[in-house]
Amino acid sequence: MLETNTPSPVAAQSYPFEFRGNGKEYFKIWIVNVGLTILTLGIYSAWAKVRTRRYFYNHMFVNGQSFDYHADPIKILKGRIMLFLIGLSVALVNLSPIFLIIPVLFFLAGPYLIVRGAIFNFTNTSFRGVRFGFQRAYQESYITWLKAIAVTIFTLGIGALTSQFYWRKFIFDHMALGKARFKLGGTGFEFWAYMMKVFFLYGLGFLAIYLGVTFGLFFSGLISKEDAGLVPFLLVAMIYVFYGFLFVVYQVRTAHFYSKHTSGDGGLGFQTRLTLWDSFLMYAEQLFLLIITLGFAWPWVTVAIAKYKAEHTDAMATPEFFNSLEQAQLESVSAFGEEVASFWDFDIGF
């Protein structure tokens, strides 16, 4: 006899992200931020940071509701001042080598600060009135740190890319939305192989194109010996384009790998529809805009990129997911870790 009384799981549906900001609106916010930051000699930058984040979070929608950011600018200002003072104190090293202890301690505190930064960032982010969160996973942070260093050293740098995965996994595995947990599957090696495969192929392709173009120009007589000076220029120009191309490859491939391997409570998952060529054209267009406006298109560019990424990403979840998130206990930490992390360009976020 067949048993059919196991509850059939409700299928997860896809909910597209949608960014409803626009360039003109953000431009006004950005320029007032910059103006006030200059006029207050940098002090307003803490408020500017919160306002910018809030703008992007508030306009990022999924299933009809948007995100919010709640950080206290005063805390961010304190974090910035502390970071600034530590930066200045590095100059003390000239007085006596004893002060070398400051940068060394700072370096050793890295994984601790990353956890503090993550707690600050996540607990100050909310969706539908429920805060994100991050565990006090100090030990795991140091383990991740050691793994990231080890994989770089023992492979003589070839495996360095793997450390990106370790950190991303560390963040995903310890973050939460209310009580809902997330998980990043896959292994460091899978990630590495997935990325290196295309880097290697495109690298070969680039070499072939470069050699083809230069030899082609020589043999076709388009470039004479006297004009040989153009060849290095051509190489530099092609390297720039190729570098940009690899940047896009990195963005698109990581998005695919991470969305494929991310899961969470309530059937949560992600799906990306980013494609390489289309993304490359989008970035090229935005870069062009930045160049011809001498950087003044910055707000439009940032908005366009956020819009593009949102349009090509779906959250996968059961319909109940959105109504069943439960608030968890909140932690309160200083913003110092977050400031350090953002100065290091360490990306704590989604």
Contacting residue, 154, 200, 247, 288, with another protein by CB under 8 A: 247
| Beta-carbon contacts of residue 132 (< 8 Å; ≥ 6 apart) | 122, 123, 125, 126, 175, 176, 177, 178
Closest CB to another protein among residues 139, 324 = 324
Residue linked to tokens 């916010």 = 29
Question: DSSP characters for 80-147?
Answer: HHHHHHHHHHGGGGGT-GGGGHHHHHHHHTHHHHHHHHHHHHHHTEEETTEEEEE---HHHHHHHHHH
Contacting residue, 6, 232, 277, 329, with another protein by CB under 8 A: 232
Task: Tell me the C-alpha distance between 63 and 266, whole Å.
Answer: 15
Residue 75 binding another protein, by CB under 8 A: no
The least CB distance from residue 58 to another protein, in Å, is: 3
Cβ–Cβ under 8 Å, residues 262 and 226: no
Residue 298 binding another protein, by CB under 8 A: yes
Binding letters toward another protein, positions 42-61, x by CB under 8 A: x--x---x-xx-xx--xx--
Residue 37 binding another protein, by CB under 8 A: yes
The least CB distance from residue 200 to another protein, in Å, is: 23
| Beta-carbon contacts of residue 321 (< 8 Å; ≥ 6 apart) | 180, 266, 267, 268
* Structure token digits, residue 18: 């949608």
Closest CB to another protein among residues 154, 247 = 247
Element (H, E) at 66: strand 65-69
Residue 13 binding another protein, by CB under 8 A: no
Residue 293 binding another protein, by CB under 8 A: no
Closest CB to another protein among residues 46, 151 = 46
Q: Tell me which residues in 146-185 interact with another protein (CB under 8 A).
A: 178
Task: Tell me the C-alpha distance between 147 and 141, whole Å.
Answer: 10
Interface residue list for another protein (CB under 8 A): 20-22, 25-26, 28-29, 31-32, 34-39, 42, 45, 49, 51-52, 54-55, 58-59, 65-66, 68, 93-94, 126-131, 178, 228-234, 236, 247, 287, 290, 295, 298, 301, 322-327, 342-343, 345
